[in-house]
Amino acid sequence: MSVFPGFGGWINQNIQQPPKAESRRSENVKSNLVSEKDTNNEEGLNYEEEEMKRQHELWKAAEKKHPWYDAPPKVKVTTKKGLCHMNIELTLGLTPDGVYELFTNPSNGSLFFDMDMNGRPLLATKSRKVLKKDGPRQIVRLKKAVAWDFLWWSGDFPIHLIVDVNKKDLTAKYKKEKMMFMKVFEGNWKIEPLYVDSVRLCKHKEPKSLQEYKTCSGGQGRVASKVTMDQYFQPYTPFNLPPISWFIRDITIRTTKTLLKMLQHASVVLRE
């Protein structure tokens, strides 16, 4: 694949038989450009790996002396004209890239086992298909199942979601493609860094970037994460009428809170 699309076609249209020396020079330029691109990609990946290892060691050492405490998630619920809005904030003692991996890696289903449900996974991924990929951005179709229990009944709610994730800015938007009982089910989340050692190591100077934090902390500052989420849901008629709407609202909020606690517990396990 040409580094400059269309450039080769322009040459062919104007010069049918380029001189050998000129041809070799063009090949060398292309080769150098490709090599430079590959080298930059490798350097970027190596830098990310080194940063992850460095942060892992910092967290591991700190946990032995002063274990990190994640405050309980803040969940604010409001309902207007039948549409329920959950605004969520939580912290996780993991780097933003690590939290992004927790949120998006399909192999993380084992993190969501609720022991009160006889070992059934609270949230299970049934299938995952990438619909579009554009650099750090992906649009994915997910089929999931959420376990529920009510009195002596139990079962699974199937959920089909379209998720638009962006690894560059650590954000995602999602909406239901198909979901039992729900007319509306959609939301978004974003992950931001928390410079948890800035007061101690940066002399009360609040860093504005990861590089600035690394410099002022002498490379000894841990990076945690703040997650902000907005989730909206509304049942179909007649499930939007009491008392059925109360049950659906309660189980949705309760399940979401449980998943958030599981995420925080997973971050503890990974730190240790």
pLDDT digits (tens, 9 = 90+) for 214-255: 999 999 999 999 999 999 999 999 888 888 888 889 988 988
- Residue 107 — very low, low, confident or very high, per pLDDT cuts 50/70/90? low
Contact status, residue 176 vs residue 183, Cβ threshold 8 Å: no
Tens of pLDDT, residue by residue over 38-69, are 555 555 556 678 888 889 899 988 888 888 88
Rounded Cα distance between 94 and 174, Å, is: 23
Better-predicted residue by pLDDT, 101 or 38:
101
Q: Which fold has domain 66-271?
A: Alpha-D-Glucose-1,6-Bisphosphate; Chain A, domain 4 (3.30.530)
Q: What is the mean pLDDT of residues 99-119?
A: 66
- Residue 8 — very low, low, confident or very high, per pLDDT cuts 50/70/90? very low
Sheet containing 137-150, strands listed edge to edge, beginning at the edge strand earlier in sequence = 74-80, 83-92, 223-235, 182-195, 171-179, 153-166, 137-150, 123-134
Rounded Cα distance between 9 and 211, Å, is: 43
The domain spans of the chain are 66-271
Q: What is the mean pLDDT of residues 110-136?
A: 75
Both structure tokens of 218: 């002498």
- Residue 113 — very low, low, confident or very high, per pLDDT cuts 50/70/90? low
Least confident of 95-109, 134-148, 155-169, 218-232: 95-109
- Residue 32 — very low, low, confident or very high, per pLDDT cuts 50/70/90? low
Better-predicted residue by pLDDT, 42 or 87:
87
Which pLDDT belongs to residue 36?
53
User: What share of residues in the chain are helix, strand, coil (percent, to 5)?
Assistant: 40, 35, 25
* pLDDT higher than 70, residue 2: no
Helices vs. strands in the chain: H and E counts, helices first: 6, 8
Rounded Cα distance between 206 and 203, Å, is: 9
Q: What is the mean pLDDT of residues 136-147?
A: 90
Query: In Å, what is the CA distance from 89 to each residue of 66, 74, 86, 129, 175?
Result: 23, 5, 10, 29, 20
Least confident of 6-15, 54-63, 201-210: 6-15
**φ, ψ for residue 17, nearest 5 deg:** -125, 85
Rounded Cα distance between 243 and 245, Å, is: 5
Which pLDDT belongs to residue 14?
36
**What pTM did the predictor assign?**
0.77
Least confident of 54-68, 139-153, 165-179, 240-254: 139-153
Rounded Cα distance between 142 and 128, Å, is: 5
Ramachandran assignment for 203, one of left (phi > 0), alpha (psi -120 to 50 degrees), beta (any other) = left
